[in-house]
Amino acid sequence: MRPLPLPRRTARETYRSCVPGMRQPLRQQLEGLEEHVVAASARFETAAQAASLHSLDRISFTPASPDMAAALPDVYTQRMAKVGRPGRAIYDELKMAAVVCPLCGHREVTTLDHHLPKSMFPLLAVTPSNLVPCCSECNRTKRSTAPREAEEQTLHPYFDNIDDERWLAAEVLQGTPVALSFFVQPPQDWPNMLQVRVRHHFETLGLAGLYAAQAATELAGNAYVLQRTFDAGGAEAVREHLQLKAESWNQMWRNHWKVAAYRALAASDWFCTSGGMHQASWAAAPSTASQHI
């Protein structure tokens, strides 16, 4: 998970940008909810900062009027996300805050994800701090669910920064073909709940399988170079090459899956000598690799 700076747009500013041009009496009714939206957004941000989103009461984030509870998600869908609508400029601004999805750290950003679902927390439907740029796959995988317990909270890119230390690791699975298994290996001094949440995020979004599949493609593209490196300098030349690849990616992001992959390959005597160097094909680790987390 890659951290992102908190959006500079406020909930009030964003909400106001979406309402103009709406027909009465709906516009007046929505304008009457502005202070409720602002207050709900403040409570959300306080809870997100404290990693206590599971404690939020859905009722307090839902207008008493069923019509307004249904109208607020439509404000996002019809007045913010839709091309040509008054709030679209802010939508695009939030979406362009990242190129790579911060939730999986790999795929391209294509949409915005409601960290807490707009169907369950209508007052947060257009709150910028609740809108995270992400890929369609992560958005679809998260679905409209909300945490009921502290350990069920997926990581929030605006409030959870876990990239000061390395937590992603991999291991080489010996066999034909070669495979890599990815898992969470957090520092021992991390709070227990943070370790649990990182593992939950990793498992919920299926990152073990995603990274293993990408590693298979990466290795297939490097098989020829690795074999030539081995032929020219043996196991130590291969190990040095892999270590340099790991360090190169580490300069960009220490928890990129390529850092974990190349570190694991470099540490494997089997891979650097006879076993891995003579494989004619490569494969992703099975989806059950998540058991290692």
pLDDT tens readout for residues 179-219: 899 999 999 999 999 999 999 999 999 999 999 999 988 88
pLDDT of residue 288 exceeding 50, the answer is no
* Percentage with pLDDT > 70 across the chain: 93
pLDDT tens readout for residues 32-91: 999 999 999 999 999 999 999 999 999 999 999 999 999 999 999 999 999 999 999 999
pLDDT tens readout for residues 7-43: 999 999 999 999 988 888 999 999 999 999 999 999 9
Kind of pairing between the strands at 179-184 and 111-114: unpaired
Phi–psi pair at 59, nearest 5 degrees = -60, -40
Q: How confident is the model at residue 244 (pLDDT cuts 50, 70, 90)?
A: very high
262, 246 contact by CB (below 8 A): yes
Q: What is the structure's pLDDT at 282?
A: 46
Q: What is the structure's pLDDT at 143?
A: 82
* Percentage with pLDDT > 90 across the chain: 79
Per DSSP, what are the bridge partners of residue 100?
Answer: 108
Mean of all residue pLDDT scores within the chain: 91
Structure-model confidence comparison of residues 145 and 206, the more confident one: 206
Amino acid, single-letter form, for residue 18 = C
pLDDT of residue 118 exceeding 80, the answer is yes
pLDDT tens readout for residues 245-274: 999 999 989 999 999 999 999 999 999 986
Lowest mean pLDDT among 127-141, 200-214, 223-237: 223-237
